[in-house]
Structure 1
Amino acid sequence: MSADPSPKKTPLYDVHQDLGANLVDFAGYLMPLRYAGETEEHRAVRSGAGLFDLSHMGEIFLSGPQAAAALDHALVGNISPMAVGKARYTMITAPDGGVLDDLIVYRLADQTYMVVANASNVAVVRAALVERAEGFDTAVDDRSDSYALIALQGPDAQGILTRFTDAPLADLKYYAILAGRVSCGGTTPHTPRGDGAASPDDAEMVDGVDALIARTGYTGEDGFELFVDSADAVKTWRLLAEVEGVVPSGLSARDTLRLEAGMPLYGNELTAETTPYEAGLGRVVKLDKPGDFVGRAALEAAAQTPPGRRLVGLVARGRRSPRKGYQVVTSDGTPCGVVTSGAPSPTLGKPIAMAYVDSAVDATELAVDVRGRHEPVDVVALPFYKRS
């Protein structure tokens, strides 16, 4: 009998339904694509704060005396020197150097690490880590179903979250994590949103919830990602969603935010057929770290050979948006690349895209074949947007 193909529900599924979210199957989960509208949600994150359900992401723990050594062998990054409470962006590659997933590794304790994987790749990453950890004194434990992940992103995120925790958020640096408690007990009373979000039970919320609070995100803004027990997801979400100005935000806004920030998406800019060097992310490959790691030989060779293509930014001159899979052409119509991500940019007010183009092409003006018409685009450096 085949496995049930139905998409899974995150612990916040009922909340999304109550908010009238447009739910779609994404990476095997029913996820909110949008609530009121992606442009409003996008702009809320840029100017105030947006709230995201990221519970589809995977959390895989490695613990034991040789956990760091196992990760050094399994991943392209140098994990051993990380201090407790720090995080690192890295990748797991196949032996041929192709990217299997991009990851964030958090060091939670001296012998405990949490690897956060993209939802579509959790099974692949888990299997690879189990295989690559053989022979090391470490345990690999997939706790993805035990955790909910809620992100509060935007310039107001610190001020908002500070109202509900005594954790020293002001001292928490970018790409760092701490264990804290989120509670409304003893904080400044918050103003109900009045938009249909249910009110939490006061007694329940005074007790608070334990959370791993990371200063990380995928929007190009300041913000926090809260890892909480799945059973605590609803009350944590409702606590933050009731704050005036916090806007529930879906996958569409998250995609345009990360696109403006020039952040790669697995399946678009990163694939098993793409090396970190092609993606302009060779800096995450630590060839100077001691010992061998999976993919080292192939990546050493790739580092010595200029890639045949490069990832660039494109800004459309017209109103038609380049989309994933559209062909990039030179001024004379010669194909020279392909769009990996594209959408209208709410911040720039014009369509933008990321694309791989042949390295031999260094023109500052190209075109994208948009349904049979060659729409002119300007080639620009990434990212399109960087917060001040």
Structure 2
Amino acid sequence: MTEPAEQTTSQSPDPALRETALAGEHEELGASFTDFGGWRMPLKYSSELEEHHAVRTAAGLFDLSHMGEIRVVGPEAGTFLNTALVGNLAALAVGKARYSLICREDGGILDDLIAYRITEQEYLVVPNAANRELVAAALEERVWAFNAAHGSETEVWDESDGISLIAVQGPRSQEIISSVVRLDETFIVEELGYYASTTVTIGGQEVLLARTGYTGEDGFELFLPHDKAGALWRALREAGSDAGLTPCGLACRDSLRLEAGMPLYGNELSTERTSFEAGLPVVSFSKEEDFVGRAALEAAKAEGRGRTSGQRLVGLKGLGRRAGRSGYSVVLPEEAPDAGAAADAEGPGRVVGVVTSGQPSPTLGYPIAMAYVDVEHLEPGTRLDIDLRGKPQPFEVVELPFYVRT
């Protein structure tokens, strides 16, 4: 999913920026704000390192109400989504969720998203905030063509303007959520599986509760109407006060997802990349439907894109102290005896990739980065450098994710 690739902080509200229903709550907590995709969002409340560690050790509270919510409804809703997205959504059981992609005809990624099957005839599709309107428009265009071709009456509604999304992430998240739901629903929270959703009651309000997240920790996401968001935010803060629940902004969300090896649209994912280069095994070629981008993706798979040709996304572990950043070149090191025939032919310093995300890892204590690298240099343990403005810094290829919760 997505967070800002570049961030600028501001304290004074900009009338040109949209705000979530929780903007007042963030201001009371003294948040620093950032302009993200036209939204004024909390970047951090105190220290982004403290917020990061709170999620890893206890729990963090996030406002994600800038994300999109698109409802797809009808007896053939699953079949339609199978033509619009690369995954097999028709096979998804009620109450389950699936990570998927929406692509162009050429296989380029328009967005990564999560689809929840609410009932047999209803899905909730959650795209990234910056791509919400693009995804909604694409689904509306595709459903029109689907309905015309199949005599279907499937409907697509963009409900983003009426829904808030709050997340609780961290090892104590289940304890916190269990304490705010109705007493006879506590077992529902405890038994809810990963990438699953259900309806619970909190303070008399019906809430869609999903066990999903973007931090690498156990966690929950809660969908509810805007006018009920403030009460839920305050109830969660009170319930989590003894469990270390900490309000968290977008800054630590970005460092958390990077440690967990989760891609960021606009950095790791774009229309210039396919799922094969991104290392995302989410394309279902076994489903019958001719989904948008299928022919291009079948051709890319046949030519070994991201496996025997082109580039693929890898993790890079820093062997020094300095971190690489998005856009920095990945180059062959001065001494690269195992760098392959291409290195022997063209020598050290040759550019073999580009960093998509990078920063010091608060949890692991060393620099980490994700980068697209030529397929000849994918083997874990391969030594590569990141060119930090003319100063090569040593890294090595590692398998993603960098961090796995225990």
Q: TM-score, normalised by structure 2?
A: 0.87
Inter-partner Cα distance in structure 2 for 1:362 and 1:257: 24
Percent identical among aligned pairs is 56
- How large is the RMSD of aligned CA atoms in angstroms? 1.2
Q: Secondary structure at the match of 2:355?
A: strand
Per-residue CA deviations over 1:183-233 (Å, capped at 9, x if unaligned) read: 3xxxxxxxxxxxxxxxxxxxxxxxx32210000000000010000110011
Inter-partner Cα distance in structure 1 for 2:388 and 2:279: 26
Counterpart check, 1:110 vs 2:120: yes
CA contact (8 A) 2:67 2:127 kept: yes
CA contact (8 A) 2:62 2:167 kept: yes
**Residue 156 (structure 1) aligned to one of 172, 181, 192:** 172
CA contact (8 A) 1:209 1:236 kept: no
Q: Which amino acid aligns with 1:234?
A: G
Q: Tell me which residue corresponds to 1:238.
A: 234
Cα drift, residue 92 of structure 1: 0.3
Cα drift, residue 361 of structure 1: 2.4
CA contact (8 A) 1:314 1:352 kept: yes
Counterpart check, 1:378 vs 2:380: no
**Residue 63 (structure 1) aligned to one of 69, 73, 85:** 73
Cα drift, residue 362 of structure 1: 4.2
Q: Secondary structure at the match of 1:278?
A: helix
CA contact (8 A) 1:67 1:137 kept: no
Q: Tell me which residue corresponds to 2:290.
A: 292
Q: Which amino acid aligns with 2:328?
A: Y
**Residue 303 (structure 2) aligned to one of 305, 311, 314:** 305
Q: Tell me which residue corresponds to 2:94.
A: 84
Q: Tell me which residue corresponds to 1:19.
A: 29
More helix by percentage? 2
**Residue 350 (structure 2) aligned to one of 334, 340, 355:** 334
Inter-partner Cα distance in structure 1 for 2:289 and 2:257: 34
Inter-partner Cα distance in structure 2 for 1:249 and 1:314: 26
Cα drift, residue 322 of structure 1: 0.4
Q: Tell me which residue corresponds to 2:214.
A: 218
Superposed counterparts of 1:1-388, under 5 Å: 6-134=16-144, 135=147, 136-166=152-182, 167=185, 168-183=188-203, 208-242=204-238, 243-244=240-241, 245-281=244-280, 283-307=281-305, 308-331=310-333, 332-362=348-378, 364-388=382-406
Could you tell which deviates more after superposition, 8-17 or 356-365? 356-365
CA contact (8 A) 2:68 2:128 kept: yes
Cα drift, residue 356 of structure 1: 0.3
CA contact (8 A) 2:316 2:396 kept: yes
Q: Mind listing any 5+ residue stretches in structure 1 that lack a counterpart?
A: 184-207
CA contact (8 A) 1:210 1:228 kept: yes
List structure 1 runs of 4+ shifted beyond 4 angstroms: none
Aligned pairs, number: 360
Inter-partner Cα distance in structure 2 for 1:62 and 1:225: 20
Per-residue CA deviations over 1:90-132 (Å, capped at 9, x if unaligned) read: 0000000000000100011111100000001011100110111
Cα drift, residue 69 of structure 1: 1.3
Q: Secondary structure at the match of 2:131?
A: helix
Q: TM-score, normalised by structure 1?
A: 0.91
